[in-house]
Chains A and B, each alone.
Chain A
């Protein structure tokens, strides 16, 4: 199956610092979703982006869909220890649905 690269693979930040993870595809996407998985937990749906250049916010989280619909980013402002976990993008190409490789975020108090 296809692997969708996310960068970075791991990120350690001090509490209060910002964090960004990127999801890149070689093909044009119809939409993209983002999920968060807490340590020991299961993936939980955060948001779906559909339109080119779309930007959505959820409190300290900002999600962006690229103009060409080939990439997306998730930015967290002023991280907190509750942000710890692995963030996955999930994307649809044609009739296939793939999860990204994930970015594991560690927040140091």
Chain B
């Protein structure tokens, strides 16, 4: 019954590899997000999708590519992983855009070695 589920929970990979993180929400929300949380716990938005359309694309290397096959799913693909990509990545969703309560997934801890 998890509202926003992310897989995998942990991901350890070598530099240069390509990896994907999947996110699904069963709340019926129409907006989904990807956030990156660094070691200092700062939460930085990466992407926002509303009804499968890209709304926000902050300054993120183009090695990061989101894909939303439908409004319940938002996946994140990362090419050519670098050490600096190590972080916790959170998926979140909300009903509508803007200042509405977010529901976060449990996060994916990515470690690049």
Contacts and interface: CB of A to CB of B under 8 A. Distances in A.
Interface of A: 1, 3, 30-31, 33, 35, 37, 41-45, 48, 86, 88, 90-92, 95, 97-99, 101-102, 104
Contacts, number: 50
B61 to A, nearest CB: 15
Interface in B28-74: 35, 40-45, 58-59
A35 to B, nearest CB: 8
Given A41-B107, A48-B99, 9 more contacts: A33-B101, A42-B105, A42-B107, A43-B43, A92-B99, A95-B98, A97-B99, A98-B45, A102-B42
A74 to B, nearest CB: 16
Given A33-B99, A42-B90, A97-B98, A104 B41 contact: yes
A28 to B, nearest CB: 13
Nearest to B33: A97
Interface of B: 35, 40-45, 58-59, 90, 97-99, 101-107
Interface of A is mostly: strand
Contacts of A35: 102
